Amino acid sequence: MTTHPDRDPSDLPTIRGSVPPLRAWIRTFLIGLCMGSADGVPGVSGGTIALIAGVYERLIAAITAVTPGRIVRFFRALAPVDGGVDVRGAFSELLEIDIWFLLALVAGVATAVVIVTRIVHIASQETPALLFGFFFGLIAASAIVLLRSLTVDSSFQIGAGVVGFLIAFFVSGVSTSAADGGGLALVFFAGMVGVSAMILPGISGSLLLIILGQYTRMSTALSEFVDALIALVTGGPTEDVTTTAVPVVTFIVGGLVGLFTIARVVRRSLDYNRRATLAFLVALVVGALRAPVVEVQEKVGFSTDVLIAFVAAGAVGAVFLLVLDWYAVDLDLDKV
Residue pLDDT, tens place only, 38-65: 778 776 677 777 766 778 778 878 887 8
pLDDT of residue 36: 85
pLDDT of residue 3: 46
CB 161 within 8 A of CB 282: yes
- For residue 61, the 8-state DSSP code is H
- Count of domains forming the chain: 1
Q: Is residue 4 part of a domain?
A: no
| Enclosing domain of residue 187 | 15-334
Tell me how far apart the alpha carbons of residues 239 and 228 are, in angstroms, rounded to a whole number.
Answer: 9
Q: Decide: pTM greater than 0.75.
A: no
pLDDT of residue 286: 86
Q: Is residue 3 part of a domain?
A: no
Q: Is residue 10 part of a domain?
A: no
Q: Which residues have CB under 8 Å from 292's CB, separation 6+?
A: 42, 132, 133, 135, 136, 139, 210
pLDDT of residue 52: 67
Q: Is residue 5 part of a domain?
A: no
| Greatest pairwise CA separation for the chain in angstroms | 76
pLDDT in tens, 153-199: 889 989 989 998 998 888 777 655 555 556 888 899 888 888 877 77
Angle CA(5)–CA(8)–CA(9) in degrees, nearest 5? Answer: 100
- For residue 55, the 8-state DSSP code is -
pLDDT of residue 5: 46
pLDDT of residue 332: 45
CB 225 within 8 A of CB 113: no
Q: Is residue 8 part of a domain?
A: no
Q: Is residue 278 part of a domain?
A: yes
Q: Is residue 49 part of a domain?
A: yes
Q: Which of 6-15, 26-35, 108-117, 230-239 has the lowest mean pLDDT?
A: 6-15
